[in-house]
Amino acid sequence: MDDEVLITGGYVVTMDDDLGDVPGGDVRILNGVITEIGTGLRPGSPDTEIVDARGRIVMPGMIDTHRHTWQGAIAAYTPQITGYGYGPVVLSGITLDHTAEDVYAGTLWGALQALDAGITSIGDWAHALRSAEHADGNLRGLKESGIRGVFFCGGPGPATDDPNPPHPVDARRMRDENFPGNGMNGRLRMGMWLRGPAFTSAERNREDFAFARELGLPISVHVGMAGTADAIPVLQSDELLGDDINYVHCNMLTDEEFDLVRSSGGTITLTPSTDMLMQFGTYPATGPTLETLARNEMVHEVELNQRDMLRLATIGGALVLGIADETGSLTPGKQGDVVLVDMRSPHLDGYGDPVAMLGLGAGPADVETVLVGGEFLKRDGALVGGHIERARELMHQTQDRLRARVQRRERAALQTH
């Protein structure tokens, strides 16, 4: 018997240019796939699960293209730290205190944090993988959460005295064992994050790019933030630019560097809240208004509005991750990755465009229902599944272990001084 979900009576924001918004609209999901969008749709069988969406926005699941998901257990560990301080405190600090089981627990909880907020697909920049066991734990956490996305495999790899270690060769094993054939593992694909020219030698950078391309994996790299000046020109001079690269941050790229990314077919990921918090740049890569402000002039118009932001967070993100054929918009034929946001609360029940109200005021607590591939992962405002409480317990156990290890390390450091 077919498995049908019928979402009825919502304000449907499809993010599909041909369909637009459908007030009072319905979405039919059959066997995990969106099959019909319209009004007045009727259930196909007595067993159809009907979801009343009156007073809700019905929209595509959001897509976070750059997330360090393993950090799910250490939220707020570095609330007032710059990018400069992140290295010693996190990458060569608490990261080293993470066992493979801790990475698993953090990743599972981090993916559930995303789903709770209506994010149904992620680009997981897994940069705590010190061993094959750590990599396996990270991937296991992603799979058990039910989220969709790309697992960007990376290092740092085993401890070494090499100042410019190669990208972990374990990436080949991860691909062969977990992403054979069509490159899919359930809802997940594999990519590779690289250090890039700012964080390794020129020779090693060329070798890393060649390795990723030999494996046929999409690449993600940090550029255009403090400490990564000239990364794009270096990649160009080494003939490494390509349409398989996603460039992260990009706050400080010049117009010429943006043109190089565009002409090579590359994509860009913005992380404005992190960039402002960690002092990575003076403005997000959506464009500066500094010239106008510097002349003591008022800015005449807002170039990007809330619908533009929602587009970036849905179909735009899908295009970046290479999954726009299966998600990113509510389009018949795509996967049933659907989010319902309750707009009846005082802070969201507004006068103007519902999407503007969504962008101005909605948060994770307003996300009522989340489906991925037609499967309910959040309903009635709470994550569902027997794994949720187990994940919480594992996360708390990891936190307890990390606190003990950090305290031992700090005591040892004091004794050596």
Report the distance separating Cα 399 and Cα 338, nearest Å: 32
- Read off the DSSP letter of residue 366: G
Domain check: are 128 and 171 in the same one? yes
Beta strands in 305-401 (DSSP E): 338-342, 367-372, 375-379, 382-383
Do strands 33-38 and 21-30 pair parallel, antiparallel, or not at all (unpaired)?
antiparallel
Task: Supply the CATH number for residue 129's domain.
Answer: 3.20.20.140
What pLDDT does residue 289 have? Answer: 64
The reply to whether 394 falls in a domain is: no
Query: Is-contact 266 245, C-beta < 8 A?
Result: yes
The reply to whether 45 falls in a domain is: yes
Query: Is-contact 135 152, C-beta < 8 A?
Result: no
Query: Long-range contacts: 276-284, Cβ < 8 Å, 24+?
Result: 277/79, 278/81, 278/82, 278/83, 278/86, 279/82, 279/83, 279/84, 279/226, 280/83, 280/225, 280/226, 280/249, 280/251, 281/224, 281/225, 281/226, 281/249, 281/251, 281/252, 282/251, 282/252, 283/251, 284/251
Last residue of a domain, one of 310, 338, 357: 310
Query: Is-contact 304 311, C-beta < 8 A?
Result: no
Domain check: are 122 and 231 in the same one? yes
Report the distance separating Cα 249 and Cα 220, nearest Å: 11
Q: How many domains does the chain have?
A: 2
The reply to whether 315 falls in a domain is: no
The reply to whether 390 falls in a domain is: no
Output the CA angle 276-279-280, nearest 5 degrees. Answer: 90
Domain check: are 55 and 132 in the same one? no
Q: Three-class SS of residue 76?
A: coil
Domain check: are 218 and 357 in the same one? no
Domain check: are 46 and 70 in the same one? no
What pLDDT does residue 290 have? Answer: 63
What pLDDT does residue 288 have? Answer: 67
| Largest pairwise CA distance in the chain | 74
pLDDT in tens, the chain (417 residues): 479 999 999 999 999 999 999 999 999 999 999 999 999 999 999 999 999 999 999 999 999 999 999 999 999 888 888 888 888 888 888 999 999 999 999 999 999 999 999 999 999 999 999 999 999 999 999 999 999 999 999 989 999 999 999 999 999 999 999 999 889 999 999 999 999 999 999 999 999 999 999 999 999 999 988 778 899 999 999 999 999 999 999 988 989 999 999 999 999 999 888 888 777 776 777 766 666 767 888 878 778 899 999 999 999 999 999 999 999 999 999 999 999 999 999 999 999 999 999 999 999 999 999 999 999 999 999 999 989 999 999 999 999 999 999 899 888 888 887
Asked if the bond preceding 156 is cis, omega within 30° of 0, the reply is yes
Q: How buried is residue 296: exposed, middle or buried, by Cβ count under 10 Å (0-12/13-18/19+)?
A: exposed
Query: Is-contact 334 362, C-beta < 8 A?
Result: no
Report the distance separating Cα 171 and Cα 210, nearest Å: 13
Output the CA angle 101-103-106, nearest 5 degrees. Answer: 110
Domain check: are 39 and 96 in the same one? no
The reply to whether 173 falls in a domain is: yes
Query: Is-contact 223 249, C-beta < 8 A?
Result: yes
Domain check: are 15 and 162 in the same one? no
* Domain limits for position 101: 62-310
Instruction: Give whole-number Cα distances, 291 to 218, 225, 281, 305, 343, in Å.
Output: 36, 20, 16, 20, 38
Domain check: are 82 and 198 in the same one? yes
What pLDDT does residue 302 have? Answer: 77
Mark 60-77 as b/e (b = at least 16 C-beta within 10 Å): bbbbbbbbbbbbbbbeee
Residue with tokens 């990599």: 135
For residue 330, the cross-strand partners are none
- Identify which of 73, 41, 64, 107 has the alpha carbon closest to the alpha carbon of residue 339: 64
Phi-psi region of 316 (alpha: psi -120 to 50; beta: other; left: phi over 0): alpha
For residue 122, the cross-strand partners are 64, 149
Q: What is the pTM of this model?
A: 0.95
Domain check: are 285 and 357 in the same one? no
Kindly write down the DSSP assignment for every residue of 377-391, as one continuous string.
EEETTEE-STHHHHH
Report the distance separating Cα 280 and Cα 274, nearest Å: 8
Report the distance separating Cα 45 and Cα 288, nearest Å: 54
Domain check: are 20 and 109 in the same one? no
Q: Three-class SS of residue 116?
A: helix
The reply to whether 316 falls in a domain is: no
- Type of residue numbered 27: V
Report the distance separating Cα 241 and Cα 274, nearest Å: 25
Task: Supply the CATH number for residue 32's domain.
Answer: 2.30.40.10
